[in-house]
Amino acid sequence: MARRFNFCAGPASIPEAVLTEAAEQMLDWQGRGLSVMEMSHRSDEMVGIANEAEADLRELMGISDDYAVLFLQGGASSQFSAVPLNLMGDEGKVVDYVNTGEWSKKAIKEAKRYAKVNVVASSEDTNFTTIPAFDSWNLSEDAAYLHYTPNETIGGLEFFWTPESKVPLVADMSSTILSRPVDVNKFGLIYAGAQKNIGPAGLTIVIVRKDLLGKASAMTPTMLDYKTAADNDSMYNTPPTWGWYLAGLVFKWLKAQGGLAAMEVINRRKAEKLYGYIDASGFYSNPVEVASRSLMNIPFVLADASLDKAFLAGAEEAGLLNLKGHRSVGGMRASVYNAVPEEAIDALISYMKAFAEQNS
C-alpha cells in the first residue's frame, strides 16, 4: 500500500527515509543480533546512539556547552510543572507568562499550582489571532523567568521574533523546534515534545542553561528535577530508548537536508503556497494576522461549515489524512512539519481547489 500524506498535528509525519532505515534495523541493529528496543540503556551500543543523537542535535541547533540537553519522558505537558518547580526558587518570586493560545493557557494553569503567575500579555481578546506588541507587555520587576509559546499548534500563531528578557526566557517549542534556526543563547530553557519535528511520541527534549540547574524547589519530584537528569546523562531511570534512537535518525536526516537554514527555506515555501491559495480562494480563510502565521500549523475554515464533513471525507479518499482542526476550535488544520513533503502541499491545494469548484 502506498503511504499517504499525513497532516497530523502530532504524532506527526516522520521522514520516510528514517522509517525505512529503522525498519531495516528493526530486528538486527548493525549486526548485533538485537533491536535497539531490546538493548540495555547502559550498553555501549545504546550510550553510543544516545551520545551521537545529542551531538547531532547540538550541531543542528548550535547548542553550546553552557547548556545541558536532556532526553526525558512525560511530554511537554510535564514541563508545564517542571519549569516552575525548577526555576521559581523557594523565595516565592513571581513568574511571567505570555498568553497567546490554548497551549499557553495550559502552561499558565499548571504554573499557578506552584507559583505566583503574572500574565504579562494576552491575545485572548482577538481569539488568539494576534501577538500582543512587546512594548505592551506588563513584565514583572523581578520575575524568576518569562515563559512563552513560540508556536501555538492549535491556533496556528507563531512568533517570528524573540522577546528581549532580562530574566531567563523559557520557550515551549514543541511545534516549531527544528523548523528553522533559533539563537539558543537567547534562552534559559527550551522544551519540546518529540512527536512533531523530532520523532515518535514518548520523548521530550529539554535544553537548559547549566547555571539554572540545582535550584529546584524542595518539593520537586526527583524525576522532574533537571539536575537529576543532567547529572545522570538522562539515564537516572530507563529513558525512552527507541524514541531517542529514532530522534537520532531524524537529526541525521535533517543534516543531510542541509540543516535548519535549508529547512526554513523549504518550510517558508510550503507555507506561503498554502496561505497564498487560501487567501486567494474566496472559499477558505485563515484568521491569523499575516505577520504571525505559523509555518507549521495552518488552520483554515470553509465558507460554509456544513461542508466540513464532506471536505474531510473527500480528503481521506484523496489520500490526505488528519486535516480535521483541533476539537476546541473546529474547522481544518494542515500541520506541515519538516517531514511533510512539498508534494503533499501541492496535492492538498489541488484537492481544495476541486472541492471549492464543486461546492461554490
Ligand X SMILES: Cc1ncc(COP(=O)(O)O)c(C=O)c1O
Q: Which residues bind ligand X (CB under 6 A)?
A: 10, 75-77, 103, 149, 153, 172, 174-175, 193
Nearest distance from C-beta of residue 241 to ligand X, angstroms: 18
Q: Which is nearer to ligand X, 10 or 168 (CB)?
A: 10
Taking the least distance from each CB to ligand X, the nearer of 76 and 274 is 76
Task: Find, among 298, 349, 287, the residue nearest to 326 by Cα.
Answer: 298
CA distances from 274 to 261, 301, 335, 344 (A): 20, 13, 11, 11
Please give the full DSSP string across 154-193, using - where no structure is assigned. Answer: TTTEE-SS----SSPEEEE-TTTTTSS---GGG-SEEEEE
- In the complex, least distance from residue 182 CB atom to ligand X, rounded to whole angstroms: 15
Q: Which residues of 135-154 are buried (b: 16+ CB within 10 A; e: fewer)?
A: eebebeeebbbbbbbbbbbb
Spatial distance between the Cα atoms of 108 and 178, rounded to a whole number of angstroms: 24
Least spacing, CB of residue 97 vs ligand X, in Å: 13
Q: Which residues are catalytic?
A: 103, 172, 196
Residue 276, exposed/middle/buried by CB under 10 A (0-12, 13-18, 19+)?
A: exposed
In angstroms, give the least distance from the CB of 175 to ligand X: 4
Q: Closer CB to ligand X, residue 168 or residue 193?
A: 193
**β-sheet bridge partners, residue 344:** none
* CB nearer ligand X, residue 180 or residue 356: 180
Instruction: Output the smallest distance, CB 44 to ligand X, in A.
Output: 30
β-sheet bridge partners, residue 84? none
Nearest to ligand X of 104, 165 (CB atom): 104
89/27 Cα distance (integer angstroms):
47
Other CB atoms within 10 A of residue 302 CB: 20
Q: Cβ closer to ligand X: 35 or 77?
A: 77
Sheet with 67-72, side-by-side order of all strands: 67-72, 204-209, 189-193, 169-172, 146-148, 94-99, 116-122
Phi-psi region of 165 (alpha: psi -120 to 50; beta: other; left: phi over 0): beta
CB of 29 to ligand X, least distance (A): 26
